[in-house]
Amino acid sequence: MNETVRLLQAHHSSRSYKTDPIPEEVLEAIIESAHRAPTSTNSQEVSLVVVRNQESRARIAKIAGGQPWIAQAPVFIAVVVDFYKTGMGVEKAGGEQVFQRSLEGILAAVSDAGIAMATIMTAARASGLGVVPIGGIRRDAQAMIDLLGLPRNTFPVDGVVLGYVAEESPQKPRMPIESFRHDEKYQAEALKPAIDAYDRTLQEYWKKTGRTDGLSWSENMAQHYGSFSRLLKSVAQKQGFTIEV
């Protein structure tokens, strides 16, 4: 199999790290790879904040709800949606930016941020590092904004932990492929059997890995997708993001 495809298919998040530093040239190559990633209308509306400072990483670990791997690994990269940068271009050309106040703007920027994050993870893993994406920073987005000194019209969407892995973790199984790949038209009838099978598979996986508190996929979805965060909306509004259209 092609080496890149093999690497992608071997993806797994790692949550146990050595404190060994990442050589500057390795980090630079990872960031330059993400810098090359495509963006909607060439907006380049994504910025990265590279956090190596130990105190800052310990603070982010807390902000994310107590995730020790953020403090343990030597580098945390915050992936920031950046309409501050695009706004400077709009103003320079004599206009007024409104795109950050639309659903289209938010979808475009968040998908660009996701591409940047995936590129960071692929480049990092190809360089022998372990990774774990971190959405937990949105639990207290205001604290992240303050810590990173983010200006108006920017938002810390996610982050990625990078480091040399101390203890490898097994790959987490996925739902059967029929729930993911639909040929020509969406195949809704494929979902129920796929979900039933996956609920069983995931619980076997938790048992095998010694987790007694592991939930089935359906239970996990019910726990996370049955509520929403009003706090996040108010912080986003304060930063300049609303959905007016």
Ligand X SMILES: Cc1cc2nc3c(=O)[nH]c(=O)nc-3n(C[C@H](O)[C@H](O)[C@H](O)COP(=O)(O)O)c2cc1C
Indicate whether 132 belongs to the interface with ligand X (CB under 6 A): yes
- The whole-angstrom separation of Cα 116 and Cα 48 is 9
203 makes contact with ligand X (CB under 6 A):
no
Question: What is the strand order of the sheet 75-82 is part of?
Answer: 46-51, 75-82, 154-163, 130-134
Comparing CB distances to ligand X, the nearer of 90 and 194 is 194
15 versus 62: smaller Cβ distance to ligand X? 15
Interface residue with ligand X among 38, 95, 135, 193 (CB under 6 A) is: 135
Shortest Cβ 60–ligand X spacing (Å): 10
Looking at the Cβ atoms of 13 and 201, the one nearer to ligand X is 13
Q: Which stretch binds ligand X (CB under 6 A): 51-59, 75-83, 128-136, 190-198?
A: 128-136
Which helix (DSSP H) or strand (DSSP E) does residue 240 occupy? none
The number of CA neighbours under 13 Å toward the Cβ of 41 is: 8
What minimum distance in Å lies between the beta carbon of 67 and ligand X? 6
Q: Can you tell me which of 67, 100, 119, 154 binds ligand X, judged by CB under 6 A?
A: 67
Sign of CA dihedral 131, 133, 139, 141: positive
Task: Give the integer Cα–Cα distance in Å for 136 and 146.
Answer: 16
Q: By C-beta, is 76 or 241 nearer to ligand X?
A: 76
Q: Out of 37, 43, 110, 133, which residue is the one contacting ligand X (CB under 6 A)? A: 133
- Tally: H helices and E strands in the chain: 10, 4
Under rule CB under 6 A, residue 134 binds ligand X: yes
For ligand X, the binding residue among 8, 136, 151, 175 (CB under 6 A) is 136
Alpha carbons 216 and 208: distance in angstroms, whole number: 14
Decide whether 45 or 158 has the Cβ nearer to ligand X. Answer: 158
Task: Tally the residues of the chain.
Answer: 245
Phi-psi region of 66 (alpha: psi -120 to 50; beta: other; left: phi over 0): left
Radius of gyration from C-alpha coordinates of the chain = 19
Residue 64 in the binding site for ligand X (CB under 6 A): yes
> Residues in the site for ligand X, rule: CB under 6 A?
11-13, 15, 64, 67, 132-136, 158, 172
